[in-house]
Chains A and B, each alone.
Chain A
Amino acid sequence: MSVILKAENISKQYRLGVVGTGTISHDLNRWWASIRSKEDPYLKVGAVNDRSTKADSAYVWALKEINFEVQQGEVLGIIGKNGAGKSTLLKILSRVTIPTTGEIKTKGRIASLLEVGTGFHPELTGRENIYLNGAILGMTKAEIKVKEQEIIEFSGCERYVDTPVKRYSSGMRVRLAFAVAAFLEPDILVIDEVLAVGDAEFQKKAIGKMQDISKGDGRTVLFVSHNMAAVKSLCTRAIVLEHGTSVFEGGTDDAVSFYLNLGNTKGGETLRYFKEEDFEKQSFFIESVGLKGEHRNYNDPLTREDDLIINLTLINHSLKALVVVFRFKDDDGNVIFVTNSKDAQLNLEKEGKQLLAMQLPKFFFNEGKFNVDVMVTNGKKQLFFEPDCVQFTMLQEAKELGQWMGKTKGPLKPVFKWIFNNEG
């Protein structure tokens, strides 16, 4: 195995706001600085690419100091949320634009598929477009001629191949375009979510072809996708990007679970505090709700071996009977179960501050991400509702080497009592 592609300190800076006004003055400033061999006055290292916060500089780093190596024959996945810098990285890899700093060295020819059907001309026939599109993607006429028949067969558009493409249905156009791309034979193939096209049958065919390309032919592939299943089935290794920096690099499964947990640190908390104002016009309020492992701190990682405990501090001014309801949901928002304090015969009529704790057994939840909605009712009417109030992630229990490490299906994986019943 040898390194076929190497990215060193790749950074890319973009200018925010309206390009076009004031660029002449900036251009002149830059030019003046470069003449005096000074640093570019607009290249401030700092600003992190976070969409949600307002930037203090007019320039932003879409990518910052990305380093990675790709081995010959490897299928590298690049995953990240929208705006994480995936597309920018792809654009640099496919030489559509250049990095602001850093460099990418390659030992092979890169062909990029950021889109299928680039350069298709509606007036030309399917066959003519195969040649045009193939040539745009870097094939020579002779290479296309050899594969022409295969491409037409794969696309399933044989009947229409001499009809102008403008008469094609959009599905047919995509099929034809993908077929051309599938028969590309570069040293390194860069693919961006092109699988998200066509009907289910064609998608299956496309993924199959992708697998052939990467596994069968031993081609080096860089694959960017939101489709975690596709990433898992195709890639051998993956990089996770967030806000333009590489936050994880490693095995596909680890990378995917890291990616899925990225949201955890933001919206999800294991301990929530409320203010009295949040409970306007109510005669009670919840000071805090939190979930943790017993004998552990909040925000410690939870494993299936931990007994869980939900602590809730309730301040009641009313002497009315209150019912606290917890609704447990899986990562997709499906309710797994609902439990309340009333069924547990808990009397919440007492005035003043109450520290409540609900215990959940260990070996109950499966590994994964869970959300808890918190509700307070008076037995008839809902008085307070906070969806996704607490979030937590269960990790696998420690297992001995050699055991199966995969995840079983279902949100729960309880351990029940088993007995030998030989006498009966």
Chain B
Amino acid sequence: MSKIEDDGWLYTISSERKLIDFNFKEIWRYRDLLMLFVKRDVVTVYKQTILGPLWYLIQPLFTALTFTLIFNKVANIETGTVPPFLFNLAGVSIWNYFNTCLTATSDTFKTNAAIFGKVYFPRIIVPLSIIMSNLMKFGIQLLIFIAFYIYYYLNGAEINITSSVLFFPFIVLLMGLLGLGLGMIISSMVTKYRDLKFLVGFGVQLLMYVSAVMYPLTLMREKLPKISWVVEYNPLAYIIETARYMLLGTGTFSWFGIIYTVIVTLIVLFFGIIIFNRTEKTFIDTV
């Protein structure tokens, strides 16, 4: 077939797979679907519940409270001048964002198999909608954090918000993308090897303990210098540590940590997209 005639075709369905098949134009065409998915996820989760969206707040509040009692009151972890509850609430909220992004994304193919098996739309819409709807939930949680922030501030706690807080959205974006990338990698592999589903469940739990959620990064270096590298090489730890630095003025800020995290995130996201693209075309045959 001649070249000119070939150009008349809108698109081709074939077994050929490009390494990166990321069609921005098509994703843009389906932007309304993305928004509707976000709306669906946010609106329907707590329908027919009494407390409704309040559940978004109850979860982090009680987790932070528990952490404060166990780690700060019982185990005596020092959080400096910052009230431990506020310290934990910041960590838990940000961690939760990552956690929900990862677990929901990693289930993309399985939970949406019914839709994916019947209709085509760019599959990446689903993980993107998960990241966005969870961002909204995170936003609500951030509001309650701000409320407690003001409360503690008025009661004379020494917390210093720094000008670096302007970069806070960047940190959140980094967290979301890392969750997206990892989630996409896992979701693709789960379609073939179901074992991973169980791994993710408790893997994420373990991950939390090495992500500096309930302790400052410096404390790890002091107390467990031999295995602190686990935390030091964990980009999540830097994100949480940096977020706390921005919001509460506690902990450390390292350019190395940020650049390292950005690089890791980009690599994970890159591989996530490649693997996800490869999987979306045939997963329906294996799922």
A interface with B by C-beta (< 8 Å): 14, 19-20, 23-24, 27, 91-110, 112, 114-115, 118-119, 121, 123-124, 128, 131-132, 135-138, 140-141, 164
Contacts and interface: CB of A to CB of B under 8 A. Distances in A.
A98 B15 contact: yes
The 8 closest A-B pairs by CB, nearest first: A103-B14, A95-B120, A135-B33, A141-B32, A104-B13, A105-B9, A123-B44, A114-B118
B13 A98 contact: yes
Residues of B contacting A: mostly: mixed
B286 A135 contact: no
Most A CB atoms within 10 A — which of B9, B117, B118? B118
Interface of B: 8-16, 29-30, 32-33, 35-37, 40, 43-44, 47-48, 114-121, 192-194, 281-282, 284-286
B286 A136 contact: no
Contact of A102 (B15, B114, B282): B15
B148 to A, nearest CB: 32
B128 to A, nearest CB: 14
B32 A135 contact: yes
Contact of A140 (B13, B32, B284): B32
Given A91-B117, A96-B120, A136-B119, 17 more contacts: A14-B285, A19-B286, A23-B193, A96-B116, A98-B13, A98-B14, A103-B12, A103-B14, A106-B13, A121-B44, A132-B37, A132-B40, A137-B119, A138-B119, A138-B121, A140-B29, A141-B32
A101 B119 contact: no
B192 A23 contact: yes
A210 to B, nearest CB: 19
Contact of B119 (A20, A93, A94, A141): A94
30 contacts: A20-B192, A96-B120, A97-B285, A98-B13, A98-B281, A101-B15, A102-B14, A103-B14, A103-B15, A105-B9, A105-B12, A105-B13, A106-B11, A106-B12, A107-B9, A107-B10, A114-B118, A118-B115, A118-B118, A118-B119, A123-B44, A124-B44, A135-B32, A136-B115, A136-B121, A138-B119, A138-B121, A140-B29, A140-B32, A141-B35
A32 to B, nearest CB: 17
A292 to B, nearest CB: 47
B274 to A, nearest CB: 15
A402 B14 CA distance: 45
B47 A97 contact: no
B36 A131 contact: yes
A270 B32 CA distance: 61
A135 B118 contact: no
A124 B40 contact: yes
Contacts of A135: 30, 32-33, 36
A137 B43 CA distance: 21
B15 A99 contact: yes
Contacts of A104: 12-14
A98 B12 CA distance: 10
Contacts of A94: 118-120
Nearest to A109: B10
Contacts of B282: 97-98
Nearest to B114: A118
A385 B192 CA distance: 53
Contacts of A128: 40
Contacts of A99: 13-15
Contact of A112 (B32, B43, B114, B119): B119
